[in-house]
């Protein structure tokens, strides 16, 4: 892995976006369409990419669900969560047509591999969003695929009319209710056939566990999580209850991280800002290079390879196995 080219370390463009449309497309889901505020073309993106939008001071990531071939418009969909941390409330309650938003992107933590066999796409709820850009890209490439989308009820199915009109709609099967057995959909492993899943945390785990039980190789399994579980189920090791230090490579300054304190919080107290959004290790905004020391990974976004390399970590939630971590800050 060349970490200089790793998707989690991509440099994103600063964007000024104008809202050109908004529409309620399902219960508690609002779709927004943007154009560049200067009316020029927008930066190109690949299927699976997202924007980081400034939601009144809160940085929040939303998957691009538009056709990557359209350089004039971006589209995202936001699920209104009244119990959330404020981003979705800002977007769904306050943002109107004509408003201008600051954003970063596009970045892609969920890239799609063009492979010889038709990929399998599985989504649940708002997890349909990155699958739409994948469907458009696969169609443009003349590739076959299968998309299975799950929703709890008809009123929660997003993009119903849009998918019905799409030239690739025959590849889509929409399901209502919970799926108790993904095995018939997934089938046995074939080298060159990739699986992509996005949706609720429990659904993602069920799909991945089923695929692994059916012999699928981890390098053919890809997921994007929008939130960490309410309880990770991972017992924190004894070292997680120990303080440690981080060193800023640019100055040699050391900052102590207390028990129960995140690295981001400790750095903020020391006047060092690290971009951060989810605080759960799922969005990738804060991913930072590690130059020395061994991270104790607590995230849900880095690949097994990236975690094993020890070269990057998520300071919003991860800690250290060693008394000192030297960071590329």
For 119-172, what is each residue's pLDDT tens digit?
A: 999 999 999 999 999 999 999 999 999 999 999 999 999 999 999 999 999 999
Q: How confident is the model at residue 32 (pLDDT cuts 50, 70, 90)?
A: very high
As assigned by CATH, the class of the 238-327 domain is: alpha beta
In the chain, where do the E strands start and end?
13-26, 29-36, 50-55, 58-63, 74-79, 100-107, 120-124, 146-151, 172-176, 195-198, 221-224, 244-248, 254-257, 288-292, 295-296, 312-313, 319-320, 324-327
Could you give the maximum distance between any two Cα atoms of the chain, in Å?
Answer: 58
Report domain extents, the chain.
3-107, 120-224, 238-327
Classify domain 3-107 at the CATH topology level: Elongation Factor Tu (Ef-tu); domain 3 (2.40.30)
For 254-309, what is each residue's pLDDT tens digit?
A: 999 999 899 998 998 888 888 777 777 787 778 899 999 999 998 888 877 888 89
Query: Phi and psi dihedrals of 309, rounded to 5?
Result: -65, -30
Is the Cα dihedral 252, 253, 254, 255 positive or negative? Answer: negative
Classify domain 120-224 at the CATH topology level: Rossmann fold (3.40.50)
Q: How confident is the model at residue 233 (pLDDT cuts 50, 70, 90)?
A: very low
Q: What is the bridge-based pairing of β-strands 288-292 and 312-313?
A: antiparallel
pLDDT of residue 5: 41
Q: Which residue has the tokens 């120990």?
A: 242
Nearest C-alpha neighbor of 122 from the set 151, 144, 143: 151
pLDDT of residue 10: 57
pLDDT of residue 11: 62
What is the pLDDT averaged over residues 11-39? 94
For 56-113, what is each residue's pLDDT tens digit?
A: 988 899 999 999 999 899 999 999 987 777 889 999 999 999 999 999 989 998 999 9
Q: Where are the alpha helices (DSSP H) in the chain?
A: 87-94, 128-140, 160-165, 183-186, 201-213, 263-269, 304-309
pLDDT, the chain, mean: 89
Q: Which of 1-15, 204-218, 257-271, 291-305 is the least confident region?
A: 1-15
Does the pLDDT of residue 204 top 60, yes or no?
A: yes
For 105-117, what is each residue's pLDDT tens digit?
A: 899 989 999 999 9
């Amino acid at each position: 892995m060349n970490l200089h080219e790793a998707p989690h370390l991509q440099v994103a463009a600063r964007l000024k976006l104008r809202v050109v449309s908004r529409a309620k497309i399902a219960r508690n889901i609002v779709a927004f369409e943007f154009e560049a505020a200067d009316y020029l073309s927008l930066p190109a993106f690949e299927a699976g990419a997202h924007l980081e939008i400034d939601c009144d001071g809160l940085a929040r990531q939303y998957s691009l669900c538009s056709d990557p071939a359209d350089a004039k418009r971006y589209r995202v969909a936001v699920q209104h969560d009244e119990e959330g941390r404020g981003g979705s409330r800002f977007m769904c309650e306050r943002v109107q047509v004509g408003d201008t938003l600051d954003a970063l992107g596009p970045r892609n933590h969920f890239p799609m591999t063009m492979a010889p066999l038709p990929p399998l796409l599985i989504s649940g709820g708002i997890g349909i969003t990155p699958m739409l850009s994948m469907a458009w890209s696969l169609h443009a490439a003349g590739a076959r695929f299968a998309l299975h989308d799950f929703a709890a009820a008809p009123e929660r199915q997003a993009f119903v009319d849009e998918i019905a009109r799409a030239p690739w709609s025959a590849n889509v099967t929409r399901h209502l209710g919970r799926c108790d057995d993904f095995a018939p959909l997934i089938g046995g492993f074939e080298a060159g056939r990739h699986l992509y899943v996005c949706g609720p945390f429990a659904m993602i785990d069920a799909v991945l566990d089923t695929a692994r039980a059916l012999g699928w190789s981890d390098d053919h399994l890809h997921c994007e999580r929008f939130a960490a579980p309410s309880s990770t189920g991972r017992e924190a090791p004894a070292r997680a209850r120990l303080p440690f230090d981080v060193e800023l490579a640019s100055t040699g300054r050391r900052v102590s991280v207390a028990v129960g304190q995140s690295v981001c919080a400790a750095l903020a107290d020391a006047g060092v800002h690290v971009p951060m959004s989810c605080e759960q290790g799922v969005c990738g905004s804060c991913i930072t290079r590690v130059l020395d020391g061994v991270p104790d990974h607590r995230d849900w976004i880095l690949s097994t390879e990236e975690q094993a390399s020890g070269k990057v970590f998520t300071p919003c939630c991860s800690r250290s196995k060693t008394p000192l971590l030297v960071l590329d800050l």
